[in-house]
Amino acid sequence: MDLLANLALGFDVALTPTNVLYCFIGVTVGTFIGVLPGVGAMTTVSILLPLTFGLDPVTALIMLAGIYYGALYGGSTASILVNLPGTPASAVVCIDGYPMAQQGRAAPALVITTIASFVGASISLFVIALISPLLADFAMTFRAPDYFSMMVVGLLAAASVANKSKLKSVGMILLGIMIGLVGIDRNSGVIRYNFGIHELMDGIGFIVVAMGIFGIAEVLNNVGSIRDRGTMLHSVKWRQLLPTREDLRATWRPILRGTGIGSVLGALPGTGSTLASFMAYSVEKKVADKPERFGRGAIEGVAAPEAANNSASQTAFIPTLTLGIPGDAMMALMLGALVIHGITPGPNVIYEHAPLFWGLVASMWIGNLLLLLLNLPLIGMWVRMLRIPYRALFPTIVVLICIGVFASGNQTFDVMVVAFFGLVGYLLIRFGCEPAPLLLGLILGPMMEQYLRRSMILSRGDPAIFVQSPISAVFLAIAALMLLYMIRDAFRTRQGIPGTAE
């Protein structure tokens, strides 16, 4: 019964006109930028975050979350129509979505993505409602050393799913932690790493870093490589917008499987929607009667990943909101938004800020409903958006980022910091490092220092407390296993190179 009461409270909050409006703005903006290739949800959320300072925390989060899952939806639209994934999670939708469009079946593909997203969102809503209170209650028993070790696991998990070198991602985490330490130490009042620059006394805001290493670095990386070519657009035939019974029969099971995979992977730290959609795709290919159809326009290959990435994007909020451990860079940004709005992340959020928690959860269902109702009629508009050339887009993004950063603290100094991190982020991308773990380290670093300090006080200076506490010991064992796996992975690739040369 608790479940229903909680959801009722959530819908009460989410259905106020203001929140519905911001939810609508969020999903619309999200779909828009999801459709545009080369503009990420990370950039958009960080530009818009400073503008939410004046809003209610719940309204702000509803809008920012809407951008996130709206972008996933828009990304799939671009994947299907022009074979250009707007977001990494939608890349897998290209494999079968684009062939469908080539065969003149763009409309059913788009409809199925919408339905799959909606079903995924609806089911994962219940997953969130069921699991979050349990997880929060469990986390209530955590003490400082347990939190510290859990954060170590969370960070290593984020690094272990990196596409490129996992060890480099660990380095990015460490770098992020160090950046997070700039400014006054809350405990001793000592100013660290400000290099004599007065403005660095308060530390470096995570929004500024996020806009630099995601927004600007993304532009620097794309500007030479995205060529504006005349894209072939496949027309959408309106009569086909209603899915055939055959399509529905073929997809309901893949949608449910995708939802299951997405819900589980989304809730684990470090995985997120990209991995979920790839995993759902490979599972469908394995269980299919005729796997050779995949890659040639199999509707299951569109439905399952789409359901998976949407449910993952929602269950990703479980660890973020109940444990204070963000699973990916987007969740780190959401966590940062909470902190900016004066809410301390952790298991207390679900109780002390119940309207916020349940309102956000309910809004995600409403947002998906809005996407379902709005997007099909708007497909024509999104198709036109795809024609905007990147050379017109990127100067706009640069200016928006500058204004966004300035607005976040009313300091032109912050704009210089964005330029710096843009350059650093660009170099790191060229070095083959992924920027996401850096942001996670940046957000969790200062918290880890606090928990380390508290643990050492608790144990009177004995570091053995980290293995004496059973919860912490389990986390550290997991962390050690992950680290071993990463080191083995690093050496395997080394040995793999002479192997392929033979």
Q: By CB under 8 A, is residue 468 in contact with another protein? A: no
Of 292-300, 315-323, 376-384, 450-458, the window that binds another protein (rule: CB under 8 A) is 450-458
Q: Residues 457, 477, 480, 484: which binds another protein (CB under 8 A)?
A: 457
Q: By CB under 8 A, is residue 447 in contact with another protein? A: no
Please give the residues from 51 up to 90 whose contact with another protein meets the rule CB under 8 A: 51
Q: By CB under 8 A, is residue 396 in contact with another protein? A: yes
Q: By CB under 8 A, is residue 423 in contact with another protein? A: yes
361 vs 415 by CB, closer to another protein: 415
Q: By CB under 8 A, is residue 18 in contact with another protein? A: no
Question: Which x/- pattern over 139-178 shows residues binding another protein (rule: CB under 8 A)?
Answer: --------------------------x-xx-xx--xx-xx
Of 13-21, 152-160, 263-271, 427-435, the window that binds another protein (rule: CB under 8 A) is 427-435
Tokens standing for residue 64: 């920012």
Q: Residues 373, 399, 477, 481: which binds another protein (CB under 8 A)?
A: 399
DSSP string for 426-449: HHHHHTT--SHHHHHHHHHHHHHH
Contact 330, 140 (CB under 8 A): no
Task: Quote the least distance from Cβ 491 to another protein, whole Å.
Answer: 8
Tokens standing for residue 209: 């870093």
Q: Residues 422, 444, 466, 472: which binds another protein (CB under 8 A)?
A: 422
Could you give the CA distance from residue 45 to residue 29 in angstroms, rounded to a whole number? 10
Q: By CB under 8 A, is residue 353 in contact with another protein? A: no
Looking at the DSSP assignment, which residues form a beta bridge with residue 191?
A: 184
* Backbone torsion region of residue 399, taken as left when φ is above 0, otherwise alpha when ψ lies between -120 and 50, otherwise beta: alpha
355 vs 446 by CB, closer to another protein: 446
- Residues 67-80 as b/e (b if ≥16 CB within 10 A, e otherwise) read bbbbbbbbbbbbbb
Q: Residues 449, 471, 474, 489: which binds another protein (CB under 8 A)?
A: 449
Could you give the CA distance from residue 385 to residue 380 in angstroms, rounded to a whole number? 9
Q: Residues 279, 402, 443, 447: which binds another protein (CB under 8 A)?
A: 402
Q: Residues 20, 55, 456, 471: which binds another protein (CB under 8 A)?
A: 456
1 vs 497 by CB, closer to another protein: 497
Q: Residues 181, 241, 288, 471: which binds another protein (CB under 8 A)?
A: 181
Identify the residue whose tokens are 């809350």: 186
Could you give the CA distance from residue 199 to residue 189 in angstroms, rounded to a whole number? 16
Of 90-98, 108-116, 272-280, 485-493, the window that binds another protein (rule: CB under 8 A) is 485-493
- Taken in order 424, 430, 431, 433, the sign of the CA dihedral is positive
Looking at the DSSP assignment, which residues form a beta bridge with residue 184?
A: 191
DSSP helix/strand/coil, 142: coil
177 vs 325 by CB, closer to another protein: 177
Q: By CB under 8 A, is residue 501 in contact with another protein? A: no
DSSP string for 1-37: -HHHHHHHHHHHHHTSHHHHHHHHHHHHHHHHHHHST
Q: By CB under 8 A, is residue 483 in contact with another protein? A: no
Q: By CB under 8 A, is residue 253 in contact with another protein? A: no
Q: By CB under 8 A, is residue 21 in contact with another protein? A: no
Identify the residue whose tokens are 């939190």: 147
- Cα–Cα nearest to 307, from 487, 93, 104, 126: 93
**C-alpha 246: how far from chain center:** 33
Could you give the CA distance from residue 290 to residue 299 in angstroms, rounded to a whole number? 13
Q: Which residues make Cβ contacts (< 8 Å) with residue 497, sequence separation at least 6?
A: none
Task: Quote the least distance from Cβ 51 to another protein, whole Å.
Answer: 6
CB atoms within 10 A of CB 415: 18
Q: By CB under 8 A, is residue 467 in contact with another protein? A: no
- Residues 83-113 as b/e (b if ≥16 CB within 10 A, e otherwise) read bbbbbbbbbbbbbbbbbbbeeebbbbbbbbb
Task: Quote the least distance from Cβ 174 to another protein, whole Å.
Answer: 4
Task: Quote the least distance from Cβ 222 to another protein, whole Å.
Answer: 9
Question: Which x/- pattern over 211-240 shows residues binding another protein (rule: CB under 8 A)?
Answer: -----x--xxx-xx--xx------------
Task: Quote the least distance from Cβ 413 to another protein, whole Å.
Answer: 7
Looking at the DSSP assignment, which residues form a beta bridge with residue 192?
A: 183
